[in-house]
């Protein structure tokens, strides 16, 4: 059944899947081998756990989904858009409007406060801004409160926050303005098991409230039970 034209029996349209990849392959400059990735199909509002040992291409696959890397072959559709075929500028705008990304090292802006880091996507995207209620500052404060960042930390520079707090600021930045797709690259690796589980449950609950789809990569298979779906990369069965 074509996803573009899919209709249920009552005739109402079925939402596009959030993510569909087909026969994706990528080769880094200087590498002799090409990595082939399993096909992904993820419905809106659902979450997928991608796992595999170090070096199997988890971060590379997220880079492809984020449109920061271009596949050697294969296609990526996000929300029905063939993002792997869009021009760079259009792809950047798509990412700003529809994606939240949590990097391994969080990539927060060091000279901005925690609050200003969280509202940043709304300064870069009118789509994200109009989805905040009533405004980006209030939404950011709500998220920081839900993610247990004490309010006397909101106006501090992010470098003054603990690693766990920086990770939650990065999550708030990804969630603000309810992007349809959230990509997370092993943001729990610095946490102990209790804090890791608490963070994951909170992230997924906040994403579900917003009907955001989440792709989360990690080498740690113990996290799989938190997710609707899981898929292995590399040699892992």
The binding site for ligand ATP (CB under 6 A) comprises 28, 52, 54-60, 219
- State the nearest-atom distance from the C-beta of 54 to ligand ATP, in Å: 3
The residue among 86 and 232 lying less far from ligand ATP, judged by its C-beta, is: 232
- Are 192 and 200 in contact by the 8 Å Cβ rule? The answer is no
The residue among 56 and 84 lying less far from ligand ATP, judged by its C-beta, is: 56
User: Which of 66, 71, 81 shows the shortest CA–CA distance to 20?
Assistant: 81
User: Which of 79, 100, 122, 97 shows the shortest CA–CA distance to 216?
Assistant: 100
Q: Which two tokens stand for residue 145?
A: 């409160």
User: Which of 172, 174, 170 shows the shortest CA–CA distance to 187?
Assistant: 170
The residue among 24 and 118 lying less far from ligand ATP, judged by its C-beta, is: 24
- Are 47 and 207 in contact by the 8 Å Cβ rule? The answer is yes
State the pairing for strand pair 19-26/99-102: unpaired
- State the nearest-atom distance from the C-beta of 185 to ligand ATP, in Å: 7
The residue among 38 and 80 lying less far from ligand ATP, judged by its C-beta, is: 38
- State the nearest-atom distance from the C-beta of 196 to ligand ATP, in Å: 16
- State the nearest-atom distance from the C-beta of 14 to ligand ATP, in Å: 33
């Amino acid at each position: 059944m074509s996803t573009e034209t899919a209709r249920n029996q009552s005739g109402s349209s079925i939402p596009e899947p959030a993510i569909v990849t087909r026969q994706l392959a990528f080769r880094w400059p200087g590498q002799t081998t090409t990595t082939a990735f399993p096909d992904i199909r993820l419905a809106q509002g659902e979450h997928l756990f991608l796992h595999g040992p170090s070096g199997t291409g988890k971060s590379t696959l997220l880079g492809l989904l984020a449109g920061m890397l271009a596949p050697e072959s294969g296609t990526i559709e996000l929300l029905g858009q063939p993002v792997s075929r869009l021009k760079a500028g259009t792809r950047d705008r798509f990412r700003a409007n529809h994606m939240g990304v949590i990097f391994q090292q969080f990539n927060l802006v060091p000279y901005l406060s925690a609050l200003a880091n969280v509202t940043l996507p709304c300064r870069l995207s009118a789509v994200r801004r109009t989805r905040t209620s009533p405004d980006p500052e209030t939404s950011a404060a709500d998220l920081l409160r839900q993610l247990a960042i004490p309010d006397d930390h909101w106006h501090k520079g992010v470098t003054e926050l603990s690693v766990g707090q920086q990770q939650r600021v990065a999550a708030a930045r990804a969630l603000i303005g309810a992007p349809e797709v959230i990509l997370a690259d092993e943001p729990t690796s610095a946490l102990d098991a209790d804090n890791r589980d608490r963070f994951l449950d909170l992230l997924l609950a906040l994403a579900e409230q917003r009907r955001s789809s989440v792709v989360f990569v990690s080498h740690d298979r113990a996290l799989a039970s938190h997710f609707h779906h899981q898929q292995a990369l590399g040699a892992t069965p």
